Structure 1
Amino acid sequence: MTSPWKLAPRPIPALPEIPGRFDGVVKCQGSISQDQWKGFIKDDSPVLIPAGEDVTVDLEVNSLTTGFIALQCSGGKGAVATLHYAECYEKDLGVETAPFPKPRTKSNRADSGGRLYGIKDIYTVADGRSGHTFEPFWFRVFRYVQLHIAAGEQPLTLQSFTLRETYYPLDISTRVQAGTELDKIWDISLRTLQNCRHETYEDCPFYEQSQFASDSRLQMLFSYQLSSDDRLARKTLQEFHASQGPDGLIKAQFPAGFRSTQIPQFSLYFVAMVYDHMHYFADISVVRQYLSTIDGILNHFDERINELGLVGRFDHDTWPFIDWVPEWVVPGKIFDSCMPRTYARTGAATFNSLLYIVALMQAAEVCTFAGRKDTASEYIARADTLRSAVNHHCYEDGLYLDGPSSKEYSQHSQVFAILSESITGVAAKELMSRTLDDTSLSQCSYSMKFYLFRAVEKVCLYTQLFPILIDPWTRMIKDNLTTWAEFEQNARSDCHGWSASPVHEIVTQVFGVSPSLPGFKKLRIAPRMELLQNAWGNFSTPAGDVSISWSKDSGLEVKSTADVEAEVIINGFVSAQQLKGGQAVTFPQRRG
């Protein structure tokens, strides 16, 4: 039988391998001095380990890195080299391998106290030939590497220890100068995304290295704001589409070399992926390709509507994950965690209905763009019906409950009530203020703060609340992180792409660059000049690059590399403008 599968051209470029070196020696034990180790990593000065001796050296790179390592040696029959890779030093948990989800204690990532936790490579020298090299088959992830050598019956000469950094070669043309603090936040965000972008998007490089739908939606969107290269994003859309099962859901984690746990709500983020791509690239062929995928996903959720008119219980073998929230953790039961407790009791969580409404709204826009107006109308009608049910059963005393007849509350329910337009106008603004003031509400993690930002933007409180909202990233800088952590309460992963939302905030909110029409057929420029006295940025769009600058003493200057229609908004004043390629246009400061 002829296979239905055919070879196809590689859809993304080959990943580079960029030569590099370790930046420093943290500490060492044994007969080899720190100066000798420095010469070894900087200049390939050979290090001789006498027969029968044990030596250890801890090396560092300035920023968390994904790369291949190569240890070149000579002689040393019977020697054993152990390479231990870690993101940072942390509190000794009294075990060799850090258990999950046992809380981890990490603070200053530049502090070399404590111990290293991470994977190890063990290289045993079999015959002691004159030249031999150890190199793993897959890239490693590290900020610190501990090299331990137990020499055998022969002395071992270490000739060099080098690295080759690797990641997806995104051609980034977006650059910003936004002051010391925001510039640091920007650089760390880019490093985070770079480390989570290889053959696929990855949730994190150090642990799962998995392409999850919710994580990928954010990473794809952030990539669009950095570059017009959408090849990896197109590949991701195709992969999740290919994972769709007969129940309509896509795999939450795909591709995967094992049977992964299904997270039903993650399928709704696929709708957002198509929605985002439509807005940034306006490629109708991409939209049409995935309309049936979207319809299957939405139908799955429609079939889950219960007697109250809410999205009800999912299949028993799924994990209805919403967010990493301390109050939602059930000790020893990870698959009963990460959702409000009311879900286990009632079979419904308000968030699930609200996320479904948001997906219906996005799908309606996608269908309208593709000329499927009847389907768009159907999705809008579904959303209207579901809003009524949510407001009837899950809204009480000015707050959205985490479930019907529940007395549990979270930021998540309030945020998605606003995003789903279940509450609007002055009432939505008041709800947003209360959401941020009431610390008893379960809090959004770093990933969900992207949606918190969107809700604050929607109720027109963004400028005044930005310093508060960006503070978690400022605190991570104080802990000397070089990439953004997974979440605050249990610092497991030090590099998670879903935490890089400052890219979106700086591009679309601080500088105010976003598509006014799909594919940047019309450009929207609405900088929040009150946030910065001086700023400059160059931004990638499919219609060409656009540069924006302003200073304390001058107005806004805009310059595009191509002819493009734009609407420029300064303190609420809208100016329609036809930008000419290469010509700068200045707009006076306006007082709101």
Structure 2
Amino acid sequence: MAKKYLSILILFLIPFVVQSQTNEDAPWISYPSANVTDYGVYHFRKAFDLKEIPTNLNIHVSADNRYNLFVNGHRVSYGPAKGDLETYKYDIVDIAPYLVQGENVIAALVYNGGKDRPLAFISVQTAFMLDVENTEYAFLRTDTNWKVFKNPAYSVISYDEMLFSDQWFYGFYACGGGDHLDGNQYPWGWEEIQFDESGWLNAERLHFEGSAPWNLVPRNIPFMADHIVYPARIRENTGFTEIVGAWNGSSKITIPANLTASILIDFDLLTMGYPELTVSGGENSSIKIKYAEALYEGVNLKAHRDSVSGKTMFGVWDIFETDGNGSRTFRPLWKRAFRYVKLEIETKEEPLDILSFLNEYSGYPYPEMATFVSNDQTLNEIFTNSQRTFQMCSAETYYDTPYYEQLNYGGDNRPIASISTYNSLDDRLLREMLRLYAQSENTETSLFKSAYPSTFDFDQGSWSMAWIQTLLDYYLIRGDDDFIIPFVENIEKILSFYDRHLDEKTGLIGVVNNQNFIDWSIGKGSLPRSNEQKEMIQSTMLTLYFAHTLDCTVRLFNEIGLEEKSKRWALLSEGIKSSVLKASWDEQKQLFTDYPGGDIFSQQTNILAILCDVVPENQQKELLNRILSYDGFDEMASSYFSFFLFKAMQKTDQEDLFLENLDFWYDFLARGLTTTGETGFATHDRSDSHAWSAHPAYYMLNSVCGIKPAEVGFKSVVISPHLGSLTSVKATMPHTEGLISVTYEISGNELNASIELPKNLNGTWEYNGEVIALKGGLNKIKQSI
């Protein structure tokens, strides 16, 4: 096993070595004398002639912060995919289909968000790079023959101005500043062949002592899926003729001259991407484009998501000032998320025609996904909204929320990963996120950052542990030894950090001063709580979270053949559990306290106690029932932490309780959300789209339909449904061997089940005490209930 472990580790590292050598002379260019770290938008052009069009012409392209690449006026790619300086991404694009005989031009818009850039953008300085694979076309490589222009039309709308000028914002925002575009200064048509670039400068070639700071590696996720999303209707307008009603964004709206007006546009569903506003005329008009998930009753109080009358629009925004010419399109430099868009318009001496408004959706291109349909339409909507949230939070990384942060958090990723493996066979983004997150290691503590890639500078110990838990979840479904083994050292270093912080007297985690978020509080703040010095001392919750991570590690190490390593962590886990039982069990309440000898009780701590086997198996069902019925808890599990609650239901063989404990998701629907929210608590209603709450898209397949792997790697399947009061369910789930399809119909006291498995997949049916062998193909079962 040791030889295999070493071989896989070497193979894991080889691609990065080879890629670094291949690209160490990548031709980076920039704008001469640019303040290289400040906000700025730059245009690069390379005009050239071709006598013949090549069959293919692969280029490598990257930029710091971002680029949009055009060939003869056609946008062909945008990127690079997010990464860090050690694995800075470049894109491989075949531009041959866009070339013509004669004159051609490659053009790129490159922008640097400066101090107001999204936190997920890791940057050195403004730079652009284009290379070619075929040396016959080496003249296309970026060098001083490329032309460059610094665009004065753009200025940034800062975080402070955008978030706090209306005193509407609370919480945390990380998606970058807004764009202010003055159309009078914009070089319209700059990406076209016929554009006059004679006033542009020659680019500056960047030189570095040693290698460039960007260690280039090829993009290892696909380009984002793009499709057009049209508005559903106009909900309100002010200042001119009433136009409320259905509107698909393509019929012209004329705003008279010398007028202040507004138009509130509703897309019906939360969406994300690049909105495009096309206008004509209206010289020197100003259009403020505001984006929101919902309207507000008051500051920090969102209204029902369908409600607009008497409500206020708060949100982030862009500004477009028009030059009066025909068919001018504004498109933000970075993606926006929204359901509602409000256009606040001021015209001058000319009327303004709005020709169109649409959104170019941009998200991860998942192939055909799982399906779930039952006789309960509301339950179907929960599944649909959960799956939509998962898609909204999948792009170049996983997102916690597409509106507020767009960050890849280690803890969020555990439920997201489970959703992913059950809803899609495309694991490229999942594996990339696990790899990237490990690259955030603090060499002093061995812990990872809270979110990565990001410019965060603090460790998040609990999310480092969540990363370990996610590795196990992924391995049990996919059985991917080659992917897991290189992370063994990281796993042990994280566990060793908490081992060193165990208190000798109590056996619980003693004093730690790194971040250790486990759940949101039902009131204010996060759990477990820290003192004024931001220290966590003797937290039962954190200690049990560590024990749960140890148990995940033991299972993982045993599965991949590292039994000797697992013994150390198994012994430590058992000792911790004994210590918790001794220090934190309240005999009177028959619950675990959040602190030894304390009087604070939470669902979270007691859920973890079940998952960790702190109490014997024959007592766990009783403890779970107490968790669900006790009304004196100081803290309740959020919609996120319900992921662990539902796991406790599985562990205690009470999966039928899942359908009885979806109040958060029914409430999301009752409030008009088309996605799943951040916490489920009315006191914490910031984000409308949080994928860590989307796990019903996993549990409806895993628990309700009962589709589970019978062995590591899903080499066989066990089907054991938990239908509750449902009388009809039909679902499909992608499997590496093909599609798993289940249909359940209940009539009277009889269940009729049709289970179709891929040809090479066998399994068992377990229901109501009966066990029946399943074979590849169609299996029909009739059974009394």
Task: Say which structure is richer in strand.
Answer: 2
Q: What is the distance in 1 between the residues matched to 2:512 and 2:598? A: 19
> Which letter does structure 1 place at the counterpart of 2:648?
A
Q: Is the 8 A contact 2:249 2:357 kept in 1?
A: no
SS state of the match for residue 116, structure 1? coil
Per-residue CA deviations over 1:416-435 (Å, capped at 9, x if unaligned) read 00001111223211111111
1:15 to 2:224 alignment: yes
1:535 to 2:535 alignment: no
Q: 1:311 deviation in Å? A: 1.4
Task: Find 2:433's aligned residue among 226, 236, 258.
Answer: 236
Task: Find 2:670's aligned residue among 467, 478, 487.
Answer: 478
SS state of the match for residue 417, structure 2? helix
Q: What is the distance in 2 between the residues matched to 1:210 and 1:416? A: 26
Q: Is the 8 A contact 1:27 1:59 kept in 2?
A: yes
Q: What is the distance in 2 between the residues matched to 1:527 and 1:434? A: 25
Q: 1:300 deviation in Å? A: 1.1
Task: Find 1:168's aligned residue among 364, 375, 378.
Answer: 364
SS state of the match for residue 235, structure 2? strand
Q: Which residue of 1 aligns with 2:743?
A: 549
1:287 to 2:496 alignment: no
Task: Say which structure is richer in helix.
Answer: 1
Per-residue CA deviations over 1:71-99 (Å, capped at 9, x if unaligned) read 11122222110011111111122xxxxxx
Q: Which residue of 2 aligns with 1:101?
A: none
Q: What is the distance in 2 between the residues matched to 1:47 and 1:112? A: 21
Q: Which residue of 2 aligns with 1:80?
A: 286
Q: Is the 8 A contact 2:438 2:448 kept in 1?
A: yes
Per-residue CA deviations over 1:266-307 (Å, capped at 9, x if unaligned) read 111111111011111111101112111111111111111112
1:359 to 2:549 alignment: yes
Greater RCO (Cα-Cα under 8 Å, separation 6 or more): 1
Q: What is the distance in 2 between the residues matched to 1:62 and 1:214? A: 30
Q: What is the distance in 1 between the residues matched to 2:396 and 2:249? A: 32
Q: Is the 8 A contact 1:32 1:55 kept in 2?
A: no
Normalised by the size of structure 2, how large is the TM-score?
Answer: 0.69
Query: Cα gap change, 1:542/1:342 in structure 2, threshold over 3 Å: closer, same or farther?
Result: farther
1:186 to 2:376 alignment: no
Output aligned runs, 1:66-465, within 5 Å.
66-93=272-299, 104-113=300-309, 114-125=311-322, 127-179=323-375, 180-246=377-443, 247-256=445-454, 258-307=455-504, 308-315=506-513, 318-327=514-523, 329=524, 337-340=526-529, 347-397=537-587, 398-441=590-633, 442-463=635-656, 465=657
Q: 1:5 deviation in Å? A: 6.4
> Which letter does structure 1 place at the counterpart of 2:576?
L
Q: Is the 8 A contact 1:311 1:348 kept in 2?
A: yes
Q: 1:20 deviation in Å? A: 2.2
Q: Is the 8 A contact 2:529 2:536 kept in 1?
A: no
Q: Which residue of 2 aligns with 1:96?
A: none
Q: Over the residues paired in the alignment, what is the CA RMSD in angstroms?
A: 1.9
Q: What is the distance in 1 between the residues matched to 2:610 and 2:522? A: 23
Normalised by the size of structure 1, how large is the TM-score?
Answer: 0.91
Q: 1:154 deviation in Å? A: 2.9
Task: Find 1:571's aligned residue among 768, 776, 781.
Answer: 768
Task: Find 1:525's aligned residue among 715, 719, 732.
Answer: 719
> Which letter does structure 1 place at the counterpart of 2:638?
S
SS state of the match for residue 213, structure 1? coil
Q: 1:310 deviation in Å? A: 0.9
> Which letter does structure 2 place at the counterpart of 1:233?
L
Query: Cα gap change, 1:181/1:326 in structure 2, threshold over 3 Å: closer, same or farther?
Result: closer
> Which letter does structure 1 place at the counterpart of 2:528?
M
> Which letter does structure 2 place at the counterpart of 1:289?
P
Per-residue CA deviations over 1:546-566 (Å, capped at 9, x if unaligned) read 111121245222111222121
Q: Which structure has the larger Rg over C-alpha atoms?
A: 2
1:61 to 2:267 alignment: yes
Query: Cα gap change, 1:298/1:346 in structure 2, threshold over 3 Å: closer, same or farther?
Result: closer
Q: Which residue of 2 aligns with 1:97?
A: none
Q: Specify every segment of 5 or more residues in structure 1 that has no aligned partner in the other structure, as ranges.
A: 94-103
Q: 1:150 deviation in Å? A: 0.3
Per-residue CA deviations over 1:367-420 (Å, capped at 9, x if unaligned) read 112211101111111100111111111112121010112111000111000001
Aligned sequence identity (%): 26
Moved more, 81-90 or 466-475: 466-475
Q: What is the distance in 1 between the residues matched to 2:728 and 2:379? A: 12
Q: 1:152 deviation in Å? A: 2.0
User: How many residues are aligned here?
Assistant: 563
Q: 1:30 deviation in Å? A: 1.1
Q: Which residue of 1 aligns with 2:243?
A: 34
Query: Cα gap change, 1:452/1:342 in structure 2, threshold over 3 Å: closer, same or farther?
Result: farther
Q: What is the distance in 1 between the residues matched to 2:699 and 2:725? A: 12
Q: 1:468 deviation in Å? A: 2.9
Q: Which residue of 2 aligns with 1:50?
A: 256
Q: 1:260 deviation in Å? A: 4.2
Q: Is the 8 A contact 1:325 1:338 kept in 2?
A: yes
Q: Which residue of 2 aligns with 1:516?
A: 710
Q: Which residue of 2 aligns with 1:587?
A: 781
Q: What is the distance in 1 between the residues matched to 2:324 and 2:450? A: 47
Q: What is the distance in 2 between the residues matched to 1:269 and 1:92? A: 36
Task: Find 1:25's aligned residue among 234, 244, 259.
Answer: 234
Q: Is the 8 A contact 1:212 1:253 kept in 2?
A: yes
Q: What is the distance in 2 between the residues matched to 1:226 and 1:502? A: 11
Task: Find 1:504's aligned residue among 693, 698, 705.
Answer: 698
Moved more, 260-269 or 484-493: 260-269
Per-residue CA deviations over 1:24-65 (Å, capped at 9, x if unaligned) read 011110113316x85xx4363322323211111101012101
Q: What is the distance in 2 between the residues matched to 1:361 and 1:590? A: 38
> Which letter does structure 2 place at the counterpart of 1:62?
D
